[in-house]
Amino acid sequence: MNSLLDLSAHAQRRQHLLASLEDAAVVLPAAQLVTHHADVHHRFRQNSDFFYLCGLDEANAVAVLRGHGWGSPADPRFILFVEPRDATAEVWNGQRWGVEGALEHFGADAAHPLGELPERLEAYLRGAPRIGFRIGHHPHVEPLVLRIWGQQLEQRQRYGGQGASLFDVSPAIHTMRLRKEPAELERMREAARISCAAHEQARQATQVGMGEYQIEALLESHFRSAGARQPAYPSIVAGGDNACILHYTNNSDRLGDGDLLLIDAGCSLMDYYNADITRTFPINGRFRGEQRALYELVLSAQRHAIGAVQPGSSSAEVHNAAVQVLVDGLLELGLLRGDGEAIMANHDYRHLYPHRTGHWLGLDVHDVGTSRLGDHHTALEPGMVLTVEPGLYISNRLPVPEGQPEIPNHWKGIGIRIEDDVAVTATGHEVLTAAALKDLQAMET
């Protein structure tokens, strides 16, 4: 039930957020349970912003954070509304922290049963110059916030004085989440360690004729045995041509002799830090010619792209480094034709490489934080973590751009991606997932 990070880390984050939002009151709802079917729910997954700031892993709670720039010094600054202790509910669904736990364990200055939110929230927001809330994500709390805000605006019209402005608080939180603290990086190393070991075991167990689902079971059994909460995302175990479907998750086919197997899988820890790893290798232990050529090309693209991960660079530079290598190699192999610069500028490689080279990684797998504001790309800084995941997918699903060659059949059905999780350091980068082997020789048995 505990947060694994010291709860003081969450308190420091709240302080930091409020220091930047002095004159604001922030309303931050936890996640709710999501229906799986009928009256069965999916396993609970906390909202990452809420977890980051509060450390509480319960559904339905609502946090109110009040900046020091308004109100009187004795006012509570961190208020939690939580499901109260309830013996019957706890017999069915497990222990709750309750109001007492919110105060004693999670450091709330004030705490109330969730049922009192409608009557109490107005008082906590009254007088705040600004109300921070994310519209469109919390259907149970949003009507309440909007009603209170509307009432305040009406009172301003009638009696004068300040009415609050409403703003989206998430950019301020996401800017913080983009730069991982040392303790967060430690948790990401742990997610990476477990996930790398799962990939290594899966590759060693792979045999012609097995079901993709059996490899999925091996991976996920390792995650749970190692103490992880669950897969960070639906595991992709894609033999042969299935690997050309980027989000293939059926994992229902048999592994064919002569095919490659692409595995994209990573675990999520109890405190939600994630790994996201892809490896591709020959099912029968030997690459054939076309597979080998493309594997070496993707690996080279990935190494160049990882080389571009350093302070001051950007995810665009990382992407361009990968695309440059891929395009040059595809020209040499005859799978592209013409001028490399023009192919890059016109994106005439996208029938073979249709996705970006990476994304931020953290409490969310596709983590928050801007990578670009207009034409300005976010400069990489120590503490940022991104995936580097170039690939090639040779199939006839996407139309070949005008002027580019049709793909000969002997290339088709090859899908390759190699994905690592990379932290930016003061001097360059750290590959968190280096323990999952990827050298060509290591992929052959």
The correct pick among 83, 190, 259, 389 for binding ligand GLY (CB under 6 A) is 389
Binding range to Mn ion, per CB under 5 A, among 145-153, 171-179, 370-378, 419-427: 419-427
233 touching ligand GLY, by CB under 6 A: yes
- Per-residue binder mask for ligand GLY (CB under 6 A), 347-366, x = binder: ------------x-------
How far is the C-alpha of 96 from the C-alpha of 277, rounded, in Å?
34
Site for Mn ion in 329-388 (CB under 5 A): 387
The nearest distance, CB 359 to Mn ion, in angstroms, is 6
Q: Does 264 bind ligand GLY (CB under 6 A)?
A: yes
Residue nearest to ligand GLY (CB): 264
Nearer to Mn ion, 130 or 199 (CB): 199
Binding partner of residue 70 among ligand GLY, Mn ion, none, CB cut-off 5 to 8 Å per kind:
none
Q: Does 420 bind ligand GLY (CB under 6 A)?
A: no
Q: In the complex with Mn ion, which residue's Cβ is closer, 83 or 364?
A: 364
DSSP 241: G
Q: Are 263 and 220 in contact (CB under 8 A)?
A: no
Amino acid, single-letter form, for residue 3 = S
Residue 228 · residue 203 · CB < 8 Å: no
Q: Rounded to the nearest 10 degrees, how much is the dihedral formed by the CA atoms of 235, 239, 245, 249? A: -30
Catalytic residue numbers, as ranges: 39, 247, 264, 276, 355, 359, 366, 389, 393, 417, 419
The count of chain residues that interact with ligand GLY, using the rule CB under 6 A, is 6
CB nearer to ligand GLY: give 259 or 419.
419
CA pseudo-torsion sign 52, 196, 301, 251: negative
Q: Does 276 bind ligand GLY (CB under 6 A)?
A: yes
CA 189 to CA 90: how far, in whole Å? 34
Which of 184, 241, 264, 420 binds Mn ion (CB under 5 A)? It is: 264
The pairing of strands 130-132 and 24-29 is parallel
Return the CA Rg of the chain: 25
> Minimum CB separation from Mn ion for residue 143, in Å?
36
Task: Give the Cβ contact number of residue 136 at 10 Å.
Answer: 7
CA neighbor of 52 nearest in space, from 421, 274, 362? 362
Distances (CA, A) of 132 to 112, 189, 432: 20, 33, 35
Question: Shortest Cβ distance from residue 156 to Mn ion (Å)?
Answer: 47
Q: Give the residue from 287, 324, 286 showing the smallest Cα distance to 302.
A: 324
Q: Which CB, 83 or 276, lies closer to Mn ion?
A: 276
Site of interaction with ligand GLY (CB under 6 A): 233, 264, 276, 359, 389, 419
